[in-house]
Amino acid sequence: MAINKIINVTEGTDLYKEIKRNVDAKSEDDLIIVARAEINRKADEISPVAVMNGIYFYVAYQLEIGLVFVEKYTPEQILKAVENTMNRARFMTMPTLFEDFASIFNNPMKKLSEMENFSVMNPLTCEGKQNGAGILFCREYLKAIREKIGDYYILPSSIHEVLIVPNDGTIDINDLNAMVQDVNANEVSENDLLADRAFTVDEWI
């Protein structure tokens, strides 16, 4: 497999060689969707798969030693990346909730139906807690959550996770926007920024 694009790694260096060796050992089943804010996407020469609500989505490989953005891809590879992203998805408070992807893909409500309650804020990330915000690209997954808990808000915590906040009619989205902006300004590094406001689930599905 030819390597398509490595971001921020100089060709010929030991790190480049190590990443290339890792990518060459990968298969299309390892492709994932990753999310970036325009300010931190660091993929100026690569076209995103999509831009939704100001967030850029790319196909990539997640390696222990770094993230490799894929410059050229087919529709089949995008579908594989979406599938693998959903396979990696985890609620941090319920780490086994989505461990059986095959059953979820065929019946996305199977695992969700086992949940008793959602807390006020539920961190949703990916296995390894890296680039978990790519789950925003997976509309069927977000729809399945709404089937379980009803309407909800999505707080873009960082490129690594989002927060799922059930909408019980008592929360003002302006308050959530202010919360996101405050956290971004004081706790999130520029490289990890995702977006500067909260979203309704309807904006994604």
Comparison of pLDDT for 57 and 1, the residue scoring more: 57
* CA atoms lying within 13 Å on the CB side of residue 106: 3
The C-alpha atoms of residue 116 and residue 120 are separated, in whole angstroms, by 13
Burial of 95 (0-12, 13-18, 19+ CB in 10 A): exposed
Question: Three-state SS for 188?
Answer: coil
pLDDT by residue (tens digit) across 44-61? 678 899 999 999 999 999
Q: For residue range 79-129, what is the model confidence (pLDDT) as tens digits?
A: 999 999 988 888 775 433 344 333 444 444 444 445 445 555 677 888 778
pLDDT of residue 78: 94
Average pLDDT over residues 127-153: 89
pLDDT score at 12 = 83
Residue 197: the pLDDT is 95
Region 64-70: mean pLDDT is 83
Report, as an integer, the average pLDDT of 156-174: 90
With residues binned 3-state (H G I as helix, E B as strand, rest as coil), the percentages for the chain, rounded to 5, are: 40, 25, 40
Element (H, E) at 182: helix 173-186
Which of these, 130, 117, 103, lies nearest to 168 by C-alpha position? 117
| Number of neighbours of residue 34 by Cβ within 10 angstroms | 30
How far apart CA 98 and CA 132 sit, in angstroms, is: 14
Q: pTM for this structure?
A: 0.83
**Domain boundaries, given as residue ranges, for the chain:** 14-78, 89-203
Query: How much is the pLDDT for 104?
Result: 40
H runs (alpha helix) in 27-138:
75-88, 101-106, 109-112
Which tens digits make up the pLDDT trace of 34-44? Answer: 999 988 776 66
